[in-house]
A and B are shown apart, each in its own frame.
Chain A
């Protein structure tokens, strides 16, 4: 078995640093397998969050050679034979221990999003939606909440504006609700104010790291921004609001 060199960040909220491990790697292994091997043989207490190991739960988010990735979907054979592999926790969230970060902020934000509000069923007791009307919403609902998009978002990562911007993950959740054919709630005022759609400057880094290949920016955030613009900056709508008092902020 070839031996590979890993640099894994070890530490907690008080600080830490990289530790080197030499590990045997079998064919077909992913980075998470290697972390588990280190855990089982060399460092029983190495903390890593994971569940499904099949790219479905979004638990094992980490930064591998500087890029946010799922450990379970990063194959070892994508690295050069002698490449040292550096693994560290997501930078945007506070470290709990080793590769585990505190992502509670995301759960708190999600709670503030006004929930789905269905319109009444048809006379036959059914909800009818055409497949091509739900394709887009289904694309957004593929999200596995790995928070890689949140990690890479400049507004959250570099400017630490968690107070003002909800991040790509929740922009597409908002988009999935706003575009849901059965939904009767209006979240556009909140998208603009509380959730800070204006702060996204469309660098598309979030789209690039999404393991589900969701068109976060083009299909989700930009259409939301357009709805905000139509509502607040379209002079005809603005006038109508002035005269009839419709669609204002409340």
Chain B
């Protein structure tokens, strides 16, 4: 039997779960507010998924093109998100991102520079102006290292290789977290007045993904079990350019920076096919001919942007169609060519990781030959539903930020808006949690029985005589999601996926891990199954519910955007008999914001120029 009084126990005002950009920024804020803060992270510090971000963080600094302004960034974000974003979050994000970038510089980040010595900014899909502060193609590493090396002097405690299993609640309020240390296999009870979830997404529910093993939807699963709501889960972003060959690297990200810096997409007939896929809504702001697109690349400010820089949902669907219609490469992708567009030393300087990645993993020299690329599951626009200003979920004391939270990106995220999301909303979650903790009349208590139940659930997996291999269940799920909940979805396939998931849930209830608890990846894989299955089911149910195509959600049986579906976000929560979905009506946007988002670009820019 479990004796809760003998558990390793830690106590903090605020516990942050996750040490990527959002988690670290939240912890820095909580410490700055004078709170005792702990950070629990699944890997070693500095290894979180943020490290893989390549292109940059979007902020309207206006260093490269002075016409940029938070209002234009806001408008781009809303249009990219097909207007399903939370208006207030998109506003806060666009307004605050420049300060957060300057703050990173103040903490030691060394971004690439303009000729005047300012932070340089690069072009990216869906952004009207060069907007992404970057360091070559390793911007995520720069951000995580900056936050890490600044953070270690701010007084918060970091618990490395520690995985959250269940949130603890006291009368509906957050009271802490039950977690386990990988190195020893020991359980730990973290008592906390508030918990900030910054656990990222759940790409590992798919086989072809740019995400690492950590991305198993832990935050979604724990929040759901604790009674919080998930929103916009049907909007999963397939990044258009993942590696497709060799098989062992299929899905690894190829930064959008390749296209931002001039790379073009071609099919096996060497046609620059993106010109055939320009949505009407973006036609006025996109180059109509290769000649115009080429002028844009040389810096001609009268030329419009090339179609390769349309939003990710558009490009991913176009690539899928080219491949399905027989115009793909030998390995089922399309060509991404920068070799014929830029000199070799430019490519090596601006895209060094891409150069290495292809050279070492695929034996392709990207300064001489095109890359083969195809869509890969990359990002969750959806997540835990939060208050736009405080990041608090519907469970008192539970907060969420970064990819784990929903709202900023709506139906589709613009590249570069994720890294800025982390620092903007990581900080705001810290502010929100601090305010909550100060107003809390008495510290909550963790009921012994809750902790004991969580521990039993985890140890049963080891103690069972026999059962299913956890790796096989995860593989099974990945194949089901890849086949039935991909880029283009249908009623039939989504229902098939739900049926199959019922089978997997039954198998997961009998999962068995061999060996002892200490650093046991099999046991860990088994524990990951619950959040993965909750996430997969939430995505599938929400996708079934939304009978239209919008952003990262495409239905073959409902191929167009439908105005009635702009009126609601789909929310998922745990009901008495399993998962429930409901439509959450969207309030009318504030007039001031609607005017910006729906303005003709010329009118908006003229208005900005006048002020």
Contacts and interface: CB of A to CB of B under 8 A. Distances in A.
Contact of A110 (B149, B470, B516): B149
Interface stretch (A128-136, A149-157, A219-227): A128-136
Contacts of A161: none
A39 B149 CA distance: 34
B521 A45 contact: yes
Contacts of A138: 110, 112, 135-136
Interface stretch (B244-252, B302-310, B380-388): B244-252
A59 B52 contact: no
Contacts of A33: 248
A142 B247 contact: no
Interface in B232-250: 245-249
Nearest to A140: B110
Contacts of A39: 471, 521-522
Given A73-B360, A115-B150, A116-B108, A47 B118 contact: no
Interface string A12-47: 100000000000001111100100000110001111
B117 interface: yes
A28 B214 contact: no
B365 to A, nearest CB: 15
Contacts of A183: 108
A44 to B, nearest CB: 3
A39 B475 CA distance: 13
B6 interface: no
B253 interface: yes
Interface in A205-230: none
B579 to A, nearest CB: 29
Contacts of B248: 26, 28-30, 33
Contacts of B247: 26-28
B521 A46 contact: yes
B152 A30 contact: no
Given A26-B247, A54-B52, A115 B113 contact: no
Nearest to B63: A126
Nearest to A117: B108
Given A28-B248, A141-B135, A51 B43 contact: yes
A128 B141 contact: no
B208 to A, nearest CB: 13
Contacts of A53: 212, 249, 252
Given A54-B52, A97-B518, A116-B149, A131 B106 contact: no
A48 B521 contact: yes
A72 B247 CA distance: 14
A31 to B, nearest CB: 11
A106 B123 CA distance: 37
Contacts of A54: 52, 249, 252-253, 357, 361
Contact of B515 (A44, A55, A115, A134): A44
A8 interface: no
A51 B212 contact: yes
B353 A59 contact: no
A28 B245 contact: yes
Nearest to A138: B110
Interface in A98-152: 98, 100, 102-103, 107, 110-111, 115-116, 118, 126-131, 134, 137-138, 141-145
B214 A44 contact: no
A27 B331 CA distance: 13
B371 to A, nearest CB: 14
Interface in A164-181: 177, 180
Chain B interface bracket (under 10, 10 to 19, 20 to 34, 35 or more): 35 or more
B448 to A, nearest CB: 30
Contacts of B520: 44-45, 47
Contacts of A131: 112-113, 117, 120
B185 to A, nearest CB: 10
Contacts of A75: 360-361
Contacts of A28: 245-249, 361-362
B246 A27 contact: yes
B394 interface: no
A55 B43 contact: no
B519 interface: yes
Nearest to B472: A40
A96 interface: yes
B521 A180 contact: no
B138 interface: yes
Contact of A56 (B43, B136, B138, B470): B138
A141 B142 contact: yes
A246 interface: no
Contact of B141 (A26, A56, A103): A56
A242 interface: no
A58 interface: yes
Contacts of B252: 53-54
B521 A44 contact: yes
A134 B142 CA distance: 13
Interface string B277-310: 0000000000000000000000000000000000
A49 B515 contact: no
A165 B282 CA distance: 58
Interface of B: 43-47, 49, 51-52, 105-108, 110, 112-113, 116-118, 120, 135-136, 138, 140-142, 145, 149-150, 152-153, 160, 183, 212-214, 245-249, 252-253, 352-353, 356-357, 360-362, 469-472, 475, 513-516, 518-523, 525
Closest 5 pairs between A and B when the two form their complex, measured CB to CB: A28-B246, A44-B522, A45-B515, A128-B117, A116-B108
Given A45-B521, A100-B519, 18 more contacts: A27-B247, A28-B248, A29-B246, A39-B522, A44-B525, A50-B213, A51-B212, A51-B214, A52-B47, A54-B52, A54-B252, A55-B360, A107-B160, A115-B153, A116-B108, A127-B106, A138-B135, A141-B141
12 contacts: A40-B475, A44-B469, A45-B514, A45-B520, A49-B43, A55-B357, A56-B353, A96-B183, A102-B183, A141-B135, A141-B141, A142-B138
